[in-house]
Amino acid sequence: MTLSNPVDPKAAAAKGLGPQPAGQPPVGAGRIGVMLVNLGTPDGTEFRPMWRYLREFLSDPRVIELNKAIWYPILYGLVLTTRPKKSGANYARIWNRQRNESPLRTYTRAQREKLTEALRDLPDVIVDWAMRYGNPSTESVAKGLVAQGCDRILSFPLYPQYSATTTATANDQLFRALMKMRRAPAIRSVPPYYAEPVYIEALARSISRHLATLDFEPEVVIASYHGIPKPYSDKGDPYEAHCLETTRLLREKLGWDEKRLITTFQSRFGAQEWLQPYTDKTVEKLAGEGVKSIAIVNPGFSVDCIETLDEIGREAAETFHHAGGKKFAHIPCLNDSAEGMAVIEAMVRRELSGWI
């Protein structure tokens, strides 16, 4: 990351910063950082980078709420000895070979680049991107923005629906970074946008555009969201309600009924009950009931990743076909499309209000 030069006295005066005390570090020029924060990604598909990534992810008490005395022996004794190889094989199927990175990193970087261009009318705003788990780390990016003169940072956790397992832990990590700074910036966090008109409109347009390219019309479209353990929801996590509201608004926008667009939850892990209905079981059930064509969209993911490209694009498709289904389509996430960037830009400009 290239750091800017310290602000000159005239610029400082223009910002109302006053004279610089002799012998003191230069005072920043009051720039604003915008940090796009996504979940995270391993640095490679081999055992060691997968092990590092999974250890960080599955050690997060926001993700796994079991007591460490119970969970850590399972994590280090079973999960981290077997899962890195399996997960690495899954990542290898979707890996961006040209850049030697996961699609999640590719798309998040592209979002940063396009947002920078979209905000070119705001010269004091610096856009960067970070990962909650893995690289570039939240701490390194936050430090870099401060070093470039940002005394305010707008954090944008790229999760439309709030959950303690995603949005909250992303914010936790940013504030952990601030705890190490002598001079910490002011912070804002973009709120969940699961019901924002610009987001619903973007999803509807993206779905309609993709369906128009198919040689069949799906009998059922499934809105599949990443699941969370049911006990988390029972304790007050609003995630399930947010997902259901996104689907309701999307159904209303598309003019579809409750049979055409349904909600399911994917990616369960472990033995406890997760939010239902489960995506894989629903796909199998639909095929068994005689449904021959379906499409799946992932409204809870801002960019395509292992859970959408492999779990849905490969596993769900195989499940549907093996159960008797004929036509299957996975509808891409918003990614860095025009619709997706319209959502991000609209939310950022709104949340910068008062700072610019």
| Residue list for the binding site for Fe(2+) | 226, 307
Q: How far apart are CA 109 and CA 335, in angstroms?
A: 10
d(CA 269, CA 85): 16
Q: Is 182 exposed, middle or buried (0-12, 13-18, 19+ CB in 10 A)?
A: exposed
From 83, 85, 81, 75, select the one nearest 45 (Cα to Cα).
Answer: 85
Cα distance between residue 130 and residue 40, in whole Å: 8
State how far the Cα of 93 lies from the Cα of 345, in Å rounded to an integer.
32
> CA angle, corner 109, sides to 103 and 110, nearest 5?
90
For residue 110 the two structure tokens come to 């592209």
CA distance 142 to 125: 14
- Structure tokens that stand for 282 in this block: 């629903």
- The sign one gets for the Cα dihedral 56, 61, 64, 70 is positive
In this structure, what is the dihedral angle of CA atoms 340, 342, 348, 350, given to the nearest 10 degrees?
-140
* Cα separation values, 331 from 205, 243, 260, 295, 315, Å: 12, 17, 15, 7, 15
- On whether the CB atoms of residues 111 and 340 are closer than 8 A, the answer is yes
Q: At what angle do helices 80-94 and 47-58 cross, to 10 degrees?
A: 110
Could you tell me which residues are annotated as the binding site? 226, 307
Residue where the block lists tokens 């905000």: 119
